[in-house]
Amino acid sequence: MSYSTKTISYEVRSYVFWAIASLIVCFAASYIFAINSAIRNTALRQNLETEVAALTAKQSSLEFAYIEQKNKINIDLAYEQGFKEVSNPVYVSLTSGNSFTYNR
């Protein structure tokens, strides 16, 4: 049984080395890009969560102020603002036609 050996020339070894080195650089760059994207997205998410919490608190305070103002409205305030009860109210009634009429 005879064995034959095959030698790789220096030129082919050089191409193989640079190809592997290029692949390593490309993989390292893509890894760094992926880590950078993950960090940026995490920071952005934290900022958005902070903004949502602030807006939720503001909304809650505005709702409380609305309810407080709504509870202050009564008939005395209406009279104070110039409103008065009408002895002969005017209503808008529907007729058999396609339009509204003003009945007095």
Average pLDDT over residues 32-43: 97
As beta bridge partners, residue 100 has 94
The pLDDT-based confidence of 8 (bands split at 50, 70, 90) is: low
Amino acid at 94: L
- Does residue 41 belong to any structural domain of this protein? yes
Q: Which of 68, 72, 49 is nearest to 60 (CA)?
A: 68
- Does residue 75 belong to any structural domain of this protein? yes
The pLDDT-based confidence of 27 (bands split at 50, 70, 90) is: very high
- Does residue 73 belong to any structural domain of this protein? yes
Portion of the chain with pLDDT greater than 70, in percent:
85
Lowest model confidence (mean pLDDT) among 21-25, 72-76, 83-87, 92-96: 92-96
- Does residue 57 belong to any structural domain of this protein? yes
